[in-house]
Amino acid sequence: MKLHLIVAALVVGFLTASHAQTLGPEVAVMQIRIGKEKQRQQVVIGLYDQDAPLTVANFKDLCRRNFYRGMRFHRAFPGALVQTGDPYSRHGDNDRSGTGGPGYTVPAEIKRNNVRGSVGTSRLPDNVNPAKASNGSQIYFALTSLPKLDGKNTVFGEVLEGLDVLEAISNQPTDSNDFPLAKIIIESITIQPRFAGQAR
């Protein structure tokens, strides 16, 4: 029994260390305001600097320039996916939300599958975007495995904290365009050092 426990502990330790190596030295900390709630909600994103260096570098640059401030979550599918990062959403432009960005794309870096907690980039479909280039700012959060997106979208991070917050957002009532009726606003995204407790 003791031997089994020791082996199990070694395996867990190895997996934790291996996982930690896949994450970069910094995380993105997102502060969100949901509707009329007074308390802000927090989501922490671990970043795959090695697997998606161009995507991560672009995301960090946008965060440091406060590009995401005031943007809304403009798509929500219960228990499946939520999406944000469109400048049009700042003004509640439901018809154009999902089509905006910073004015450029980022080359595809497709190496990871979409599992629960994955953070990926949105993009135009193959018929107009055969290179699978990412929209420069729009991102989505996978709340379950999304195999239909595997091999199609760049996954550049994972949710380390706040998956429950994103699930709550996904369950908000929406209009016919899947745009949440409540104002779910990004107040800030800051880039901070990752500490050991966030490596899981």
Q: Is residue 17 part of a domain?
A: no
Most distant pair of Cα atoms in the chain: their distance: 62
Q: Is residue 7 part of a domain?
A: no
Structural domain range at position 116: 24-195
Structure tokens at 78: 């219960």
Q: Is residue 68 part of a domain?
A: yes
Q: Is residue 3 part of a domain?
A: no
Residue 84 sits in a domain of what CATH number? 2.40.100.10
Q: Is residue 18 part of a domain?
A: no
Q: Is residue 200 part of a domain?
A: no
Show pLDDT as tens, one digit a residue, over the chain (200 residues).
Answer: 444 444 444 333 433 444 555 899 999 999 999 998 889 999 999 999 999 999 999 999 999 999 999 999 999 999 999 999 999 998 866 667 678 899 999 999 999 999 999 999 999 989 999 999 999 999 999 999 999 999 999 999 999 999 999 999 999 999 999 999 999 999 999 999 998 556 55
pTM (predicted TM-score): 0.86
Per the listing, tokens 């239909």 go with 148
Q: Mapping DSSP to helix (H, G, I), strand (E, B) and coil, where does residue 186 land?
A: strand
What is the number of domains present in the chain?
Answer: 1
Q: Mapping DSSP to helix (H, G, I), strand (E, B) and coil, where does residue 157 land?
A: strand
Q: How far apart are CA 109 and CA 88, in angstroms?
A: 26
Per the listing, tokens 């699930």 go with 167
Q: How far apart are CA 157 and CA 127, in angstroms?
A: 26
